[in-house]
């Protein structure tokens, strides 16, 4: 076995391991060569890169033995290191890249439906979950035919006729309960064609709110599905000496989630499984499908931890204050989508313009749990104020890990969010098919624009701009890297082709793997064009603000 330097740059060398026939490559032995630099092999062994120009500056040939710790020690003919002449033609070898692997892994982190089995349960797609939440076929009728379900509501001030005395003592909603109930109703009206008006009666249906004091049934609240009965629209909330969660509902706490959950029932949504709080002692084991958790539905009883999400921050749990991914799909199946909601340019997170408390972050300690529903415009997920490492995915029906939590932000099915801004941690950003504006912020970020003509800004730190297909950036829809810094940032095209090397040329000659780097010093604009197919044209093209060199390209 010998190690040959096949790339010569001003300050660094790249190596490849070439093994003779029937020579076994031992991953545990050959994984790290800290004294040598980044190694690559047909097995794509993870490796470590280090500048070795000092080691080889005055050495034509070095042989050595790789010790257990990866230290070059005494001579051994099995390992041979060769220095190439300084004026040799530049050729980049295929290097081990984990950046695309990280992108690809997170892009599929929350895959669902099909034949997937998770936690020993079938995985449901968004539509399958929505259908199951609507399995009781309960809904209000549009009596006046105006295309919207107009519901009226009353905060009860006295025990109503027919009150079930087993519930204990009646009490009226306090001011905070009333205000928070209005916000919960508003969150449902945002996503579907329903409206809520405070009035004693009227509309396509009527809702009432009240408290009760006897929690012996085991439930903290309950509501009736709309079925044509006298209890339609009623929702009740437990307040007693031992249970006070419903006294002070607020954004992100359990009391606010309870309001949103019960209003969901009054609209016709059931639990995602056949269980109720008063029926024995149900657990996640009773769930019908894997995604029956509070990470996917505000109608669920079960912790998001069952689907490997985590809404705990600072030692305290957070809860959704509004409908989540599957709830939005379900209520829209019933009543239609409200496309007028936030139909202009909207910012979610920091600097929020959404006008909803649950869509706003104000400091690094903010706890955000939400699913974006948006009617149009050019929209932005702004998580710039968070210091934790984040993973942000702009694709519809996807999840993001934001502000130190896991899977706490999602985008509803059918929604297009164009832009994302990372924080000061080492963030991973995934774009969608639209023309995205992705900004990593401070930290060492990995940015993948996907399709569309994207604007990519790494910000401070060593950033990697990843491309998974030549169609991610080409003449028809060219991406632009807005702040490329050579020697610090990288352009990773390793996932596009199985080519083992790029040959940098002045003009294409019809050979696959040829690449052209252009740069205009006066404008500080550059480009990288690659012919991956041997057609004599650049089927991949990305622009840069700042000059990129061959050493900055990962293949």
Chain segment 404-451, per-residue pLDDT in tens? 999 999 999 999 999 999 999 999 999 999 999 999 999 999 999 999
Shared-domain flag, residues 369 and 242:
no
pLDDT score recorded for residue 281: 80
- 332 within a domain of the structure (yes/no): no
Shared-domain flag, residues 455 and 530:
yes
pLDDT score recorded for residue 270: 98
Shared-domain flag, residues 411 and 455:
yes
Count Cβ atoms within 10 A of the Cβ of residue 467 and give its class: 0-12 exposed, 13-18 middle, 19 or more buried: buried
Sequence-ordered strand ranges (E) for 316-385: 316-317, 347-349, 370-372, 380-382
- 160 within a domain of the structure (yes/no): yes
pLDDT > 90 fraction of the chain, expressed in percent and rounded: 78
- 441 within a domain of the structure (yes/no): yes
- 112 within a domain of the structure (yes/no): no
Q: Report the alpha-carbon distance of residue 545 to residue 520 in Å, rounded.
A: 10
Q: Report the alpha-carbon distance of residue 271 to residue 44 in Å, rounded.
A: 46
Count of the separate structural domains present in the chain: 3
3-state helix/strand/coil string of 163-209: CCHHHCCCECCCHHHHHHHHHHHHHHHHHECEEEEECCCCECEEEEE
On the question of pLDDT at 185 being above 80, the answer is yes
On the question of pLDDT at 20 being above 90, the answer is no
pLDDT score recorded for residue 275: 86
pLDDT score recorded for residue 75: 30
Shared-domain flag, residues 50 and 165:
no
Shared-domain flag, residues 269 and 393:
no
Shared-domain flag, residues 199 and 300:
yes
pLDDT score recorded for residue 96: 54
More confident residue, 554 or 94: 554
On the question of pLDDT at 143 being above 80, the answer is yes
CATH number at residue 520: 2.150.10.10
On the question of pLDDT at 104 being above 60, the answer is yes
pLDDT score recorded for residue 84: 30
Q: Are 239 and 184 in contact (CB under 8 A)?
A: no
pLDDT score recorded for residue 61: 29
- 108 within a domain of the structure (yes/no): no
pLDDT score recorded for residue 450: 98
Q: Which of 3-7, 219-223, 337-341, 477-481 has the lowest mean pLDDT?
A: 3-7
Shared-domain flag, residues 198 and 139:
yes
* pLDDT, mean over the chain: 86
pLDDT score recorded for residue 279: 61
Shared-domain flag, residues 350 and 474:
yes
pLDDT score recorded for residue 276: 83
- 375 within a domain of the structure (yes/no): yes
Which residues constitute the domain of residue 307? 123-317
Top-ranked range on mean pLDDT: pick from 51-55, 71-75, 310-314: 310-314
**pLDDT, tens digit, for every residue of 235-257?**
999 999 989 999 999 999 999 99
pLDDT score recorded for residue 90: 40
Shared-domain flag, residues 233 and 200:
yes
On the question of pLDDT at 337 being above 80, the answer is yes
DSSP state of 375: -
On the question of pLDDT at 19 being above 80, the answer is no
Nearest to 413 by CA among 398, 400, 428: 398
Shared-domain flag, residues 311 and 353:
no
Mean pLDDT of 471-499: 96
pTM of the predicted protein model: 0.83
- 141 within a domain of the structure (yes/no): yes
pLDDT score recorded for residue 280: 63
**pLDDT, tens digit, for every residue of 205-244?**
999 999 999 988 888 999 999 988 888 999 999 999 989 9
- 118 within a domain of the structure (yes/no): no
Q: Report the alpha-carbon distance of residue 540 to residue 477 in Å, rounded.
A: 10
CATH number at residue 209: 3.40.390.10
pLDDT score recorded for residue 445: 99
Shared-domain flag, residues 261 and 204:
yes
Q: Report the alpha-carbon distance of residue 179 to residue 173 in Å, rounded.
A: 10
pLDDT score recorded for residue 22: 30
More confident residue, 522 or 27: 522
Shared-domain flag, residues 422 and 490:
yes
């Amino acid at each position: 076995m010998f190690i040959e330097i096949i790339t010569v740059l001003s300050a660094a060398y790249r190596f490849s391991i070439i093994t003779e026939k029937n020579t076994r490559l031992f991953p545990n032995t050959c994984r790290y060569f800290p004294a040598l630099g980044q190694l690559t092999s047909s097995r794509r062994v993870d490796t470590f890169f280090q500048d070795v120009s000092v080691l080889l500056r005055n050495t034509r040939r070095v042989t050595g033995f790789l010790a257990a710790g990866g230290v070059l020690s005494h001579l051994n003919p099995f390992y041979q290191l060769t220095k190439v002449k300084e004026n040799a033609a530049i050729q980049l070898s295929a290097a081990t890249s984990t950046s695309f692997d990280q992108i690809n892994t997170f892009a599929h982190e929350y895959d669902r439906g099909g034949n997937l089995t998770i936690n020993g349960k079938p995985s449901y797609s968004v539509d399958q979950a929505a259908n199951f939440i609507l399995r009781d076929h309960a809904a209000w009728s549009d009596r006046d035919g105006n295309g919207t379900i107009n519901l009226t509501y009353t905060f009860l001030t006295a025990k109503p006729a027919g009150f079930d005395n087993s519930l204990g003592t009646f009490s009226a909603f306090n001011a905070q309960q009333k205000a928070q109930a209005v916000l919960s109703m508003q969150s449902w009206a945002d996503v579907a064609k329903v409206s809520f008006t405070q009035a004693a009666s009227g509309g396509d249906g009527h809702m009432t709110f009240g408290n009760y004091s006897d929690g012996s049934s085991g439930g903290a609240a309950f509501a009736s599905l709309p079925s044509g009965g006298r209890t339609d629209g009623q929702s009740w909330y437990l307040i007693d000496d031992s249970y006070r969660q419903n006294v002070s509902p607020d954004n992100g706490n359990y009391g606010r989630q309870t309001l949103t959950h019960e209003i969901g029932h009054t609209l016709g949504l059931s639990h995602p499984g056949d269980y109720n709080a008063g029926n024995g002692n149900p657990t996640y084991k009773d769930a019908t499908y894997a995604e029956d958790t509070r990470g996917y539905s505000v109608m669920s009883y079960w912790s998001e931890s069952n689907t490997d999400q985590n809404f705990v921050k600072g030692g305290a749990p957070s809860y959704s204050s509004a409908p989540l991914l599957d709830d939005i799909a379900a209520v829209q199946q019933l009543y239609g989508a409200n496309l007028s909601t936030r139909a202009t340019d909207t910012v979610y997170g920091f600097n929020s313009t959404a006008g909803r408390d649950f869509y706003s972050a104000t400091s690094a300690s903010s706890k955000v749990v939400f699913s974006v529903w948006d009617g149009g415009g050019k929209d932005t997920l702004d998580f710039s104020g968070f210091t934790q490492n984040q993973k942000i995915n702009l694709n519809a029906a996807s999840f993001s890990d934001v502000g130190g939590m896991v899977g706490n932000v999602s985008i509803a099915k059918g929604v297009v969010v164009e832009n994302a801004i990372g924080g000061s941690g080492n963030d991973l950003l995934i774009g969608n098919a639209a023309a995205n504006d992705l900004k990593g912020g401070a930290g060492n970020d990995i940015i993948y624009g996907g399709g569309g003509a994207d604007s990519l800004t790494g910000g401070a730190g060593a950033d990697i701009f990843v491309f998974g297909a030549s169609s991610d950036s080409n003449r028809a829809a060219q991406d632009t890297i807005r702040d490329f810094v050579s020697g610090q940032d990288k352009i990773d095209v390793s996932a596009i082709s199985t080519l083992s090397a790029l040959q940098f040329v002045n003009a294409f000659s019809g050979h696959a793997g040829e690449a052209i780097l252009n740069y205009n010093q006066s404008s500080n604009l550059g480009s990288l064009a690659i012919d991956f197919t041997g057609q004599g044209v650049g089927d991949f093209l990305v622009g840069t603000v700042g000059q990129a060199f061959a050493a900055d390209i990962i293949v």
